[in-house]
Amino acid sequence: MTDRRTNAESFEALAMPMFAPLYNFAHWLTQNREEAEDLVQETYLKALKGFVTFQQGSNFRAWMFRILRNTFLTSRSGLSAKMTVPLDLEEDLAALPVTPDTPESLLLTRANQKAVEAALERLPVAFREVILLCDMEEMSYQEIAETLGIPAGTVMSRLSRARKALRELIAAGSQGAAK
């Protein structure tokens, strides 16, 4: 009993500081407040239940985000999102040419936060999540790999492709606004 109590107390201490980031991430995934709340609530309940199986010393943040993401993937909006995301070309992405001197990269400096938000919204979920985990949560490639359940090499290539798509969307948005 004392162990279970200590267990729940340490879960609370570890999990509650992650509440706001998890909610933000959930809202980005679902694009809906109610769904995000449901998702976070389910995540916490699952995590509390499964906390005994959590390996002490392993990455708790990655564990929590993985539970949230897996819960999202099996939700209705998650299932529809997954179907619309093409992930099959990732392995070819290492060869993708990066062209930073193109006009869209210059436009970026003028892009405001609203434009980036809009671009993130339009980004496929699989790209959105990898960018948010890396840039917003400042997770290492290894943490992202643990969260998404993919190899670190795939994280790198997916991130590269996601950023390219994001740049294009920002550029398209800025051009659309200029017209």
Partner 1 sequence: MTCEWREKLDRYVDAELSGSELTEMEAHLRACPACAADALSRLQLKRMTEAAGRRYSPSPEFRRKIEKSVAAPERSRWLSWWLPTFAAAAAGALLLISVFLWTQHSRGEQTLGELADLHVATLASANPVDVVSTDRHTVKPWFQGKLPFSFNLPELQDSPFKLIGGRLAYLQQSPGAQLVFEVRKHRISVFIFQNRAELSGLNSGPSWLRKKLTFNGETWTEGGLRYFVVGDANPADVHALSELLKIAG
Tokens of 165: 């798509």
Q: Does 5 bind partner 1 (CB under 8 A)?
A: yes
Least CB distance to partner 1 at residue 85 (A) = 18
Site for partner 1 contains 40 (CB under 8 A):
yes
User: Given the rule CB under 8 A, which of 54-62, 76-84, 159-167, 171-179 is the region that contacts partner 1?
Assistant: 159-167
Is residue 18 a contact residue for partner 1 (CB under 8 A)?
A: no
d(CA 154, CA 171): 26
Question: To the nearest whole angstrom, how small is the minimum distance from the Cβ of residue 154 to partner 1?
Answer: 14
Q: Residue 169: which H helix or E strand, with range?
A: helix 152-178
Does residue 36 interact with partner 1 by CB under 8 A?
yes
Count Cα neighbours of 148 within 13 Å in the Cβ-side half-sphere.
27
Q: Is 131 in the site for partner 1 (CB under 8 A)?
A: yes
For 120, residues 6+ apart whose C-beta sits below 8 A from its C-beta are 28, 128, 131, 132, 166
For the bound state, the minimum distance from the C-beta of residue 170 to partner 1, rounded and expressed in Å, comes to 8
Q: How far is CA 32 from CA 4, 7, 77, 127, in A?
A: 35, 32, 10, 18
Sign of CA pseudo-dihedral 83, 89, 94, 96: negative
Using CB under 8 A as the binding rule, whether residue 10 contacts partner 1 is answered as no
Judged by CB under 8 A, which stretch of 28-36, 56-64, 67-75, 81-89 contacts partner 1? Answer: 28-36
Q: Does 168 bind partner 1 (CB under 8 A)?
A: no
CA–CA dist 151, 148 (Å, integer): 9
Count of chain residues binding partner 1 (CB under 8 A): 50
Which 86-125 positions form the footprint of partner 1 (CB under 8 A)? Answer: 94, 97-98, 100-101, 105, 108-109, 111, 113, 116-117, 120
